[in-house]
Amino acid sequence: MMSRICEGRVVVVTGAGNGLGRAYALGLAVEGAKVVVNDLGVGRHGEDGTTKGAAEKVVDEIRAAGGEAVANTDDVTDWEAGRRIVQCALDSFGDLHAVVNNAGFVRDRMFVSCTPDEWDAVLRVHLRGHFCTSRHAVDYWRNQQKAGRPVDARIINTTSGAGLQGSIGQSAYSAAKGGIATLTLVQAAELARYGITANALAPSARTRMTESVFAEEMSRVEDGLDVYAPENTAPLIAWLCSAESSDVTGQVFELKGGRIFLSQGWTDSPDIDKKARWKADELGPVVRRLLNGRAPAKPVYGAA
């Protein structure tokens, strides 16, 4: 029998009832992981009750294929619910090795039209949602490490091209996803001492959150490959959850179809040093020299 890369690993996947999360859960199970399938059952805008039972359906699929999984319907934005999600893994499978933070929704709006409630809802599900479950998982792993037990744990976060370069009409979503990318860097730096890695993924996939805005682009098939199929991303998630990825941390991966690459993030340009304090009326040409000398940035999605 072919070895499976996640054999014996226990993984929580949030927002796993549909789209990318479902593909991750199914892919992890195929690779031998025992999966906690978390999904609250809300719609693409966070409306209640539109996909109730989604987590259970994914669990049924995994079990029908011979895998092990359990459903969980806790809200990732709730502090105590985050504790229950981690406890669900421990009660069901006796351990936890990875948390895949995938849950989220969008409320697309131009910045001039975005309301405080919409802004808060989007930041809450993405940023607080990435915090609660992972924070309780880290408590468990730290306690294991302090008790002298080896820890080989993973946090995998979900950012977006919108967070890395911005997206017209998605100011709240872009801000949240940019925050998640930076959170990943901090987690990687702080948690390495406990045997925990942290990486992020910016997938390009057809999901409920992308289908209304990018439907035409994301229906494209190239050379027989469905470029935007959520299943394309599942193997990278499985590898990142596995023991094989223990030396990789603090990275933001981008994946589109069969293309995989790393986001290189913010970095300094060559500098201009006057060796003295600048005067305001000197800075125009200096700033333009800096702008002209730097590598071009990716454009904001939707910008002309």
| Cα–Cα distance measured from residue 238 to residue 95, given in angstroms and rounded to the nearest whole number | 17
By the 8 A CB rule, do 55 and 17 touch?
yes
pLDDT, position 184: 97
- Per-residue pLDDT at 81 exceeds 90: yes
Instruction: Write down the pLDDT at residue 181.
Output: 96
C-alpha Rg value of the chain to the nearest Å: 21
Domain locations along the chain: 10-262
What is the rounded CA–CA span in Å between residue 235 and residue 24?
8
Residues in the chain, overall count: 304
Q: At what angle do helices 19-30 and 54-64 cross, to 10 degrees?
A: 20
170: DSSP letter: B
Q: pLDDT of 289-303, one tens digit each?
A: 999 998 888 888 888
Catalytically active residues are 160, 173, 177
Check: CB of residue 201 under 8 Å from CB of residue 252.
yes
Closest CA to 203 of 280, 115, 102, 63: 102
Tell which CATH architecture fits domain 10-262. 3-Layer(aba) Sandwich (3.40)
Tell me the two tokens of residue 31.
């690779």
pLDDT tens profile 156-206: 999 998 889 878 989 999 999 999 999 999 999 999 999 999 999 999 877
